[in-house]
A and B are shown apart, each in its own frame.
Chain A
Amino acid sequence: AQTVTQSQPEMSVQEAETVTLSCTYDTSENNYYLFWYKQPPSRQMILVIRQEAYKQQNATENRFSVNFQKAAKSFSLKISDSQLGDTAMYFCAFKRTGANSKLTFGKGITLSVRP
Chain B
Amino acid sequence: GAGVSQTPSNKVTEKGKYVELRCDPISGHTALYWYRQSLGQGPEFLIYFQGTGAADDSGLPNDRFFAVRPEGSVSTLKIQRTERGDSAVYLCASSRQAGDSETQYFGPGTRLLVL
Contact = CB atoms under 8 A, between A and B. Distances in A.
Given A91-B42, A102-B45, A102-B48, 7 more contacts: A47-B103, A99-B98, A101-B102, A102-B33, A103-B43, A108-B41, A108-B42
Interface of A: 4, 6, 33, 37, 42-47, 50, 52, 91, 93, 97-108
A52 B102 CA distance: 12
8 contacts: A43-B91, A43-B109, A44-B3, A44-B109, A50-B103, A52-B101, A93-B42, A101-B104
A100 B102 CA distance: 12
B91 A45 contact: yes
B34 to A, nearest CB: 10
B68 to A, nearest CB: 18
B62 to A, nearest CB: 18
A45 B104 CA distance: 10
Grouping DSSP codes into helix (H, G, I), strand (E, B) and loop, the A interface class, with mixed when no group exceeds half, is loop
B61 to A, nearest CB: 15
Contacts of B67: none
Which 7 residue pairs spanning A and B have beta carbons closest together? A105-B42, A45-B106, A102-B45, A101-B98, A43-B109, A44-B108, A97-B100
Interface of B: 3, 31, 33, 35, 40-45, 48, 55-56, 59, 89, 91, 93, 95, 98-109, 111
Contacts of B100: 33, 97-98
A111 to B, nearest CB: 15
Nearest to B100: A97
Contacts of A45: 43, 91, 93, 106
Contacts of A103: 33, 35, 43, 45, 104
A7 B106 CA distance: 24
B108 A42 contact: yes
